[in-house]
Amino acid sequence: MRNKPWIKDFKKILSLAIPLIIANIAMVGMEVVDTIMAGQASAEDLAGLAIGGNIWLVIEMAMYGVLSAITPRIARFHGDSNTFEITREAQQALLLASFLGIISMFVMLAAVPLIPYLGTSEQVTQIAQGYTEVIAYSLPISGICWVIFGILEGHSLTRFIVLSSLVAVSLNFVLDYIFVFGKMGLPALGGIGCAWTTTTIYWLWGIAGIIYTAKHKKLKDYKIYSHWPRINFARWRAILALGLPISLAILAEEGFFSFSALLIAPLGTEPLGAHQITIQIVSLVLMFGLGIGQATSIYVAKSIGKSNPGLMKKYVKSGFRLIALFGTLVGVFVFIFRNELPQLFSQDAGITEISSALMLFAPFYLLLDVLQAWSAQTLRGFEDTKIPMFMQITSYWVIGFPLGYSLGATQLWGNNYGIYGFWIGMFSGIFIGSCLLCLRLYSKTQSTIK
């Protein structure tokens, strides 16, 4: 009987988190499918995808970070039943997303001529350049997608996000099969075919999202698309003030992993392929932490909008217990099946052996990783992003990266540990970041109640 209130809170958080988790897994599932397809094509296609995909991921996540500020802001306006603010927020966010998407596209195209300087083989370089050039054209519409998802999440309307994500990952599998292996009369494009798939899906996704939000019975009264106001720089600044620290925090993490992949590239095809596979497995697990954190953040923002700090504290406590339980269970699962999981992605014995070795510390690594993802998301419900940003930059770039680079690419510690040295740095960054963010969340929760 004593645990009944916690079970009720778990159910409420999960009722919102599960659709978000499904959507998050489906989105990462697109990358996983790409990795599997490219890996089946050749080790060179997998390596080229790893390089181009990591460049795209850094730019995509930077834009997502800025635009993810929409979710807690919309949730707070919705908790306060402020229809006028929701309409203006949505319109200005869509304008900002269009601007950021175009800028991001040009930045990515500018990176294409720089790829040969990574020192990979000529074939891998050509695949990476082709992938990067094609997928750049997905960026103008992907920003629109993030804003639409933010509007829906802020209203706890997740059906479109879930269903469209499942359609997207299914379509991703079909189109990858056609483009990568050259079916239906098309040439076999290998890893570059994955970029054509992603770009096509994002444009279909964005168009569908615009139509859905314009027609939805709970959203059409906002008349978001009825007219286009002039740019409101004051509101852009408000969004950026919350979103830029989120973006920089995401860049601190994603940039750390992606830049590490670029430094691992000269070590050879097998270490780079193993890194890509292991990152995909970790990313899948991380989506659970992200989804539970998003749900906790939304409930926290709504509680603050309703001026109910006691309810807010209850959601934070329940979210923490839920994510700790999940992280422990999934970490043990990945450890037990560490030899079998990499074989789903590649049949190359060298690649799978390295990936299996990297997952030896899965119980600790994955628990810490989901904890830092959950706490970072939950802090956004408080609109607290600046201090967490500095915490993540410190943990990844001041501690994790120098340690990983010195262990993996130099003999400063007596030996060059290659990819294992880089992953020791990653683990250290995750450990420090998780501890700092959880302490920050505890402090923020206590100060809000007083």
Task: Tell me which residue range forms the domain holding 156.
Answer: 4-449
Q: What is the count of structural domains for the chain?
A: 1
Q: What is the pTM of this model?
A: 0.75
- Please, which contacts does 222-231 make with residues 24 or more away whose CB atoms are closer than 8 Å? 222/83, 222/86, 222/87, 222/90, 223/87, 224/87, 224/90, 224/91, 224/94, 224/151, 228/91, 228/95, 229/88, 229/91, 229/92, 231/92, 231/95
pLDDT score of 450: 59
Question: Residue 159 has which token pair?
Answer: 């059906």
Q: Are 133 and 111 spatial neighbours (Cβ–Cβ below 8 Å)?
A: no
In angstroms, rounded to a whole number, what is the distance separating the alpha carbons of residues 70 and 62?
A: 14
Q: What is the pLDDT of residue 63?
A: 92
| pLDDT value of residue 449 | 63
Handedness of CA 282, 14, 11, 431 (dihedral sign): positive
Q: Provide the token pair at 15.
A: 């009722």
Q: What is the pLDDT of residue 136?
A: 95
Ranges under pLDDT 70 in the chain: 1-6, 449-450
CA distance 286 to 266: 27
